[in-house]
């Protein structure tokens, strides 16, 4: 079977650090935090954690008709917005494309929690006849991919991935495989999430996974730091435009980088905790490098999962050491969740975009809030300040989800 090369030609980002890739990337390299006090729901429903990465003043009318927006949960609105930003960035005229060769893989870990909560209250307070007829198509996870396909007339392969925090890394990997084997020429790929709701945050808080550093929101997400006390929830979405290389060249597209490798593994260990020896994550990194036909020493940057949890950060450190051997001591590793917070199912897509931009601009983003490094976390985590003007020919992006889902993408600089 002929394997087609796959490149990234468009990036759309909706985040607490900016709408669109340029303001977002500028804030990432500046080491800014997008974390603040929760405003999206009443404080009486807030648990011990009262902070999150909210998108201030998100206006759906910038990206869709008001009537359409009313039929979408917030997570779907983010996907639509990111898809339109990605198309604009890719400068692709979809009206000139064969719609049967344009596909979509967009996932979400949680789906429409806002819709679930709102309509359950209506059910309890006003009865079943008052529940919205749009409840189900607003809350089900696949409707982000459905809406994006309808609005862009993308009639090719269409799918939705749901693998917790590995979701959108799997989405990009699956879209990559679809183009690689020749089933599409253009794919929308990524993830979206709107988890800053009362029930969703209460659930994570009950599991004691969230940070309680409410008095210092910007300093709460601190991967690998000795004082880390949990992750910080965030909302948003990111969509990449992936293209078959020949197709991108033919239309004169700007190519940000090439998708070189992809792998997924399972821990088969625990519903929440990672393997303490990092076995599943280690195998994902090794298989992704094998798929890319690259050695560990060729990787310049790892965008780590790095959630700011006690067990997760240590397990990932061990996994990197096992997968990279001696090179683990020198490869740059950073967690941009220190700035964005954790977007759950959308995290991998945001971080894939960051990895691509790191290659494009020869710049490695920092891990902010890293002040006192955990003695069991002893890699080069690029503390607090971005590194500019450094060689980044190959970047890896890691995502690990509840249930033991591991996914890894490898990107490389595009060369003719």
Assess whether 165 carries a catalytic annotation.
yes
Catalytic residue among 49, 165, 275, 408, which? 165
Assess whether 305 carries a catalytic annotation.
yes
Catalytic residue among 4, 342, 405, 408, which? 342
H or E element at residue 406: strand 405-412
Q: In the 8-state DSSP scheme, what is residue 373?
A: B
What Cα–Cα distance (Å) separates residue 86 from each residue in 20, 49, 183, 319? 8, 33, 21, 33
Do you know the residue count of the chain? Answer: 416
Cβ-count burial 336-369 (b if 16+ within 10 Å, e if not): bbbbbbbbbbbbbbbbbbbbbbbbbeebbbbbbb
Cα distance between residue 326 and residue 133, in whole Å: 58
Q: In the 8-state DSSP scheme, what is residue 346?
A: G
293: left (phi over 0), alpha (psi -120 to 50) or beta: left
The terminus-to-terminus CA distance of the chain in angstroms comes to: 22
Catalytic residue among 4, 152, 305, 405, which? 305
Residue with tokens 């979809």: 94
Q: Are strands 102-107 and 51-52 parallel, antiparallel or unpaired?
A: unpaired
Assess whether 342 carries a catalytic annotation.
yes
What Cα–Cα distance (Å) separates residue 126 from each residue in 112, 121, 241? 21, 8, 44
H or E element at residue 312: helix 310-324
- The residues carrying an active-site annotation are 165, 305, 342
């Amino acid at each position: 079977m002929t394997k087609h090369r796959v490149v990234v030609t468009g990036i759309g980002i909706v985040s607490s650090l900016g709408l669109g890739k340029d303001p977002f990337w500028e804030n990432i390299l500046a080491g800014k935090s997008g974390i603040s006090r929760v405003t999206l729901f009443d404080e009486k429903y807030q648990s011990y954690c009262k902070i999150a990465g909210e998108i201030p003043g998100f206006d759906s009318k910038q990206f869709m008709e008001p009537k359409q927006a009313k039929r979408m949960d917030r997570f779907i609105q983010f996907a639509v917005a990111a898809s339109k930003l990605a198309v604009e960035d890719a400068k692709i005229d979809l009206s000139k494309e064969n719609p049967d060769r344009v596909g979509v893989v967009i996932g979400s870990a949680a789906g429409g929690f806002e819709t679930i909560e709102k309509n359950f209250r209506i059910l309890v307070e006003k009865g079943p006849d008052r529940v919205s007829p749009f409840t189900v198509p607003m809350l089900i996870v696949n409707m982000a991919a459905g809406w994006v396909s309808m609005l862009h007339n993308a009639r090719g392969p269409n799918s939705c991935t749901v693998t917790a925090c590995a979701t959108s890394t799997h989405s990009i990997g699956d879209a990559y495989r679809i183009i690689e084997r020749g089933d599409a020429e253009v794919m929308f790929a990524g993830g979206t999430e709107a988890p800053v709701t009362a029930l969703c945050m209460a659930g994570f808080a009950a599991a004691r996974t969230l940070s309680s550093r409410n008095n210092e929101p910007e300093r709460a997400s601190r991967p690998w730091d000795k004082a880390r006390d949990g992750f910080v929830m965030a909302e948003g979405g990111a969509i990449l435009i992936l293209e078959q290389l020949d197709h991108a060249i033919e239309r004169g597209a700007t190519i940000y980088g090439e998708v070189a490798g992809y792998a997924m593994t399972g821990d088969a260990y625990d519903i929440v905790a990672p393997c303490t020896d990092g076995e599943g994550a280690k195998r994902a990194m090794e298989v992704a490098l094998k798929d890319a036909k690259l050695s560990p020493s060729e990787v310049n940057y790892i965008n780590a999962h790095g959630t700011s949890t006690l067990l997760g950060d240590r397990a990932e450190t061990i996994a990197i050491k096992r997968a990279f051997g001696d090179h683990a001591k020198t490869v740059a590793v950073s967690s941009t969740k220190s700035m964005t917070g954790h977007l759950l199912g959308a995290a991998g897509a945001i971080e894939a975009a960051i990895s691509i931009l790191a290659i494009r601009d020869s710049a490695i983003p920092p891990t902010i809030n890293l002040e006192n490094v955990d003695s069991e976390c002893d890699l080069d985590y690029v503390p607090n300040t971005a590194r500019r003007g450094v060689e980044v020919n190959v970047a890896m992006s890691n995502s690990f989800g509840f249930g033991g889902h591991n996914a890894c993408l490898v990107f490389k600089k595009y060369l003719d």
